[in-house]
Amino acid sequence: MARPNADVGHILMAVLVDGFGAFGYRTRLWQGGSLTEPSRVEILNRRLAVEAWGKGSRTVQNGIAIVKDVYWVGVNDRRTPLFEGIWPIPRGVSYNSYLIVDDKVALIDAVKDLSVNGYLKKLKHMVGPGRQIDYLVINHLEPDHSGAVPILKEMFPAMQVVGNKKTAEFVKDLYQIADMRIVQDGEEIDLGRRKLKFVLTPLVHWPETMMTYEPTDGILFSGDAFGGFGTLDGAIFDDEVDLSYYEDEILRYFSNIIGKYSPMVQKAIEKVAGLDIRIVASTHGPVWRSHPRHIVNYYDRWSRQETEPGVVVAFGSMYGATEKMADAVLRGLADGGLKAIRSHNVSTSHASYIIRDAWRYKGLILGSPTYDAGVFPLMDSLLRLLSEKRIANRVVGLFGSYGWSGGAMKGMKSFVEETKLELIGPTVEAKFAATPEQIEQCHALGRAMAERVRHSD
Ligand code: FEO
Mean pLDDT, to the nearest integer, of 26-41? 51
Percent of the chain with pLDDT over 70: 86
d(CA 104, CA 297): 34
- The two beta strands, 70-72 and 63-67, are antiparallel
**pLDDT at site 43:** 62
Superfamily designation of domain 308-454 = Flavodoxin domain (3.40.50.360)
Q: How sure is the predictor about 56, in pLDDT bands with cuts at 50, 70 and 90?
A: very low
pLDDT digits (tens, 9 = 90+) for 331-386: 999 999 999 999 999 999 999 999 999 999 999 999 999 999 999 999 999 999 99
**pLDDT at site 53:** 45
Domains 28-303 and 308-454 share a fold: no
Give the helix ranges, DSSP H, for 67-225: 116-127, 143-146, 149-155, 165-175
Residue with the smallest CA separation from ligand 1 atom 2 is 142
Q: How sure is the predictor about 62, in pLDDT bands with cuts at 50, 70 and 90?
A: confident
Please count the other Cβ atoms lying within 10 Å of the Cβ belonging to residue 188.
Answer: 12
Count each helix (H run) and each strand (E run) in the chain, helices first.
14, 24
**pLDDT at site 52:** 46
Q: Which atom of ligand 1 is nearest to the CA of 95?
A: 1
Average pLDDT, the chain: 90
Residue 416 makes CB contacts below 8 A (sequence gap 6+) with: 396, 398, 423
Identify whether the C-beta of residue 423 lies closer than 8 Å to the C-beta of residue 398. Answer: yes
Which helix (DSSP H) or strand (DSSP E) does residue 343 occupy?
strand 341-345
Q: How sure is the predictor about 58, in pLDDT bands with cuts at 50, 70 and 90?
A: low
pLDDT digits (tens, 9 = 90+) for 138-195: 999 999 999 999 999 999 999 999 999 999 999 999 999 999 999 999 999 999 999 9
Identify whether the C-beta of residue 227 lies closer than 8 Å to the C-beta of residue 284. Answer: yes
Residue with the smallest CA separation from ligand 1 atom 3 is 142
Q: How sure is the predictor about 36, in pLDDT bands with cuts at 50, 70 and 90?
A: low
User: Does ligand 1 lie within 6 Å of residue 112's CB atom?
Assistant: no
Q: DSSP characters for 180-200?
A: EEE--TT-EEE-SS-EEEEEE
Fold category of 28-303 in CATH: Metallo-beta-lactamase; Chain A (3.60.15)
**pLDDT at site 115:** 75
Residue 163 makes CB contacts below 8 A (sequence gap 6+) with: 137, 138, 139, 141, 171, 180, 181, 182, 183, 208, 210
Sequence ranges of the domains in the chain? 28-303, 308-454
User: Does ligand 1 lie within 6 Å of residue 284's CB atom?
Assistant: yes
Q: Which atom of ligand 1 is nearest to the CA of 223?
A: 1
- Distance from the alpha carbon of residue 122 to the mean position of ligand 1, in angstroms: 22
- Distance from the alpha carbon of residue 84 to the mean position of ligand 1, in angstroms: 9
- Distance from the alpha carbon of residue 362 to the mean position of ligand 1, in angstroms: 27
> Lowest mean pLDDT: which of 112-126, 210-224, 309-323, 399-413?
112-126
Q: How far is CA 441 from CA 189, 341, 404, in A?
A: 65, 19, 22
Instruction: Name the DSSP letter for residue 435.
Output: -
> Lowest mean pLDDT: which of 19-28, 187-196, 252-261?
19-28
d(CA 418, CA 435): 30
- Calculate the CA 373 to chain-centre distance: 37
**pLDDT at site 456:** 80
Residue 157 makes CB contacts below 8 A (sequence gap 6+) with: none
Mean pLDDT, to the nearest integer, of 275-301? 97
**pLDDT at site 11:** 30
Residue 241 makes CB contacts below 8 A (sequence gap 6+) with: 232, 235, 286
Which helix (DSSP H) or strand (DSSP E) does residue 9 occupy?
helix 8-17
- Calculate the CA 437 to chain-centre distance: 43
Percent of the chain with pLDDT over 90: 83
pLDDT digits (tens, 9 = 90+) for 65-120: 999 999 999 999 999 999 999 999 999 999 999 999 999 999 999 999 987 889 99
